[in-house]
Copies of this chain bind each other. A is one copy, B any other.
Amino acid sequence: MPTLKEVAKYAKVSITTVSRVMNEADKVNPETRERVQRVMRELDYQPNRVAQRLRTSKGQSKLLGLIIPDIQNQFYSSIVRGVEDVAYGKDYAVILCNSDENPTKERFYLDVLQSESVDGVILPPIHQYSKVVEGLIESGVPVVCVDRKLVREAVDTVVVNNEKGGYLAVKHILDFGHKRIAILTSSSQFSSFDERLTGYKNALKDHNIALDDELIKEGDPRSTESAYLFTKELLRLSNPPTAIFATNNLMTLGVLEAVHEEQLNVPDDISIVGFDDMPWARAISPPLTVIKQPGYEMGRRATELLFQRFEDPKREPVQIIMEPTLIIRKSTGRVK
């Protein structure tokens, strides 16, 4: 690959001048500029980003770091796509990392990203208190949290109103007259699932329905497996639920599989509400009623927040709370 030096040689100027032509900073004589640009074109010169990065310590790497739990979860694919699209618009590339909710991996990738001197990092933090993430922020790397919050409030954050999402889902079912509504949620420390559960509880309370611990199942949101098993369990109850609320898309799949295996009719025998509006939700039969989170949009907004921070590092951190929407299709109905 040609270097600045070669361009300079052919254009018969110093490398400083070539550099100036690129960065438009100071003025360069139009003729010289023209000549240099021609040579650059002829040699198909591409600046070496590594060298650029080494020299300009902050904010010029044109690289973003993105750490997500698992790209195979379509909700995160949407976020990734949103991030990538706005990054591309600004000539940025993205380093993608899958943490598997494993703090060791998160740590590893955070170190890599820092040592790659990325301009900024976007991530749903694994823990609400995260030493590593805090450390990153302290050391001056712009960070945006997406999907999940940090306890510390001084970080740009994009989340959806999960509580409302949970509430909307459950209220919708309640309106059909259901009394026994099960929820499949995560056992872990993630703010998002906690809040969805809170929404569930609030909706029940508002309808004067007592909580039944039997109907609250906390499983692993990373696979369909545990939801499948819990659903089977729920259906075997002496007084089984007439509706199930699954709090993410993988869990929804588990519920669906179990319900079909039991030959239950949806929604006549059981109503189902999912979380996340995946492409398959409208294609299946019956089409699935879901709470939609705007994943793609969240990725976009998070990245925009990051770019805004590059421009104005002193800006007050903001929290963007996006609205979930209830998309009513055919998987919910009157209790029989």
Chain B residues, CB < 8 A from A280:
253, 256, 278, 280, 284
Taking a contact as CB atoms closer than 8 A, the residue among B51, B93, B105, B224 that contacts A54 in the complex is B51
Interface residues of A in 86-115 (CB under 8 A from B): 88, 91, 93-98, 105, 108-109, 111-115
The smallest C-beta distance from A7 to any residue of chain B, in angstroms, reads 14
B283 touches A224 (CB 8 A): yes
Tell me the bound Cα distance from A1 to B58 in angstroms: 13
* Binary contact track A28-41/B, C-beta < 8 Å → 1, others 0: 00000000000000
A115 touches B47 (CB 8 A): yes
B81 touches A70 (CB 8 A): yes
* Residues A260 and B287 in contact in the complex (CB < 8 Å), given A51-B54, A71-B80: yes
Tell me the bound Cα distance from A217 to B48 in angstroms: 45
Chain B residue with Cβ nearest A140: B1
Tell me the bound Cα distance from A88 to B112 in angstroms: 11
Chain B residues, CB < 8 A from A94:
95-97
Tell me the bound Cα distance from A74 to B81 in angstroms: 12
Taking a contact as CB atoms closer than 8 A, the residue among B74, B111, B256 that contacts A46 in the complex is B111
The smallest C-beta distance from A289 to any residue of chain B, in angstroms, reads 15
Counted per complex, copies of this chain come to: 2
Chain B residue with Cβ nearest A70: B81
B72 touches A115 (CB 8 A): no
A257 within 8 A of B: yes
A185 within 8 A of B: no
Interface residues of A in 220-258 (CB under 8 A from B): 224, 250, 253-254, 256-257
A77 within 8 A of B: yes
B50 touches A116 (CB 8 A): yes
Taking a contact as CB atoms closer than 8 A, the residue among B71, B113, B256 that contacts A71 in the complex is B71
* Residues A115 and B224 in contact in the complex (CB < 8 Å), given A74-B74, A93-B97, A260-B283: no
* Residues A96 and B80 in contact in the complex (CB < 8 Å), given A114-B1, A224-B283, A279-B224: yes
The smallest C-beta distance from A141 to any residue of chain B, in angstroms, reads 10
* Residues A49 and B112 in contact in the complex (CB < 8 Å), given A80-B71, A81-B70: yes
Interface residues of A in 12-31 (CB under 8 A from B): none
A78 within 8 A of B: yes
* Residues A93 and B109 in contact in the complex (CB < 8 Å), given A77-B72, A283-B260: yes
Chain B residues, CB < 8 A from A127:
none
* Binary contact track A273-296/B, C-beta < 8 Å → 1, others 0: 000001110111101000000000
Taking a contact as CB atoms closer than 8 A, the residue among B49, B105, B139, B254 that contacts A88 in the complex is B105
20 contacts between A and B (CB under 8 A): A1-B115, A47-B115, A48-B115, A49-B112, A50-B50, A63-B116, A71-B81, A72-B81, A74-B77, A85-B98, A88-B105, A88-B108, A93-B97, A93-B113, A93-B116, A254-B283, A256-B283, A260-B284, A260-B285, A280-B280
The 9 A-B residue pairs with the shortest CB-CB distance, nearest first, are A96-B96, A256-B283, A280-B280, A257-B283, A253-B283, A284-B284, A49-B115, A260-B285, A50-B53
Besides A47-B115, A94-B95, A256-B284, 13 more A-B contacts (Cβ < 8 Å) are A46-B114, A48-B54, A62-B112, A71-B84, A77-B77, A84-B98, A88-B108, A93-B113, A94-B97, A253-B283, A256-B280, A284-B284, A284-B285
